[in-house]
Copies of this chain bind each other. A is one copy, B any other.
């Protein structure tokens, strides 16, 4: 069974990192929250696979600094990147579903 994380779990954490909602819209805030969640999932899976950021980066032809940025939710990644990292890099299967 796959793991799914709720956005609410990280809301407080994000407020600490980015400050209270104010200047930015709710949408932008949620986008950051979701990048953060993806990052958390990646870190979890990477550690589970016992790989360092550098090893994972090598597997997909990227640099460790890039993996770090994604894990910390600092960048909005493309779908193809999501697949490349999880499937090519970690041998996991990504599923996107609409509810």
Residues of A at the B interface (CB closer than 8 Å) are 1-4, 27, 30-31, 34-35, 38, 41, 45, 76-80, 82-84, 86-88, 92-99
Please, how many angstroms separate the alpha-carbon atoms of A75 and B89 in the complex?
23
- Kindly list chain B residues whose C-beta atoms are within 8 Å of the C-beta of A3: 97-98
User: A79 and B38: CB pair below 8 A?
Assistant: yes
User: A98 and B88: CB pair below 8 A?
Assistant: no
- Kindly list chain B residues whose C-beta atoms are within 8 Å of the C-beta of A4: 95-97
Please, how many angstroms separate the alpha-carbon atoms of A95 and B99 in the complex?
8
Q: Which of A2, A35, A84, A98 neighbours the largest number of chain B CB atoms within 10 Å of its CB?
A: A98
Please, how many angstroms separate the alpha-carbon atoms of A2 and B80 in the complex?
21
Option from B79, B84, B92 in Cβ contact (under 8 Å) with A82: B79
Please, how many angstroms separate the alpha-carbon atoms of A3 and B98 in the complex?
6
User: A97 and B30: CB pair below 8 A?
Assistant: no
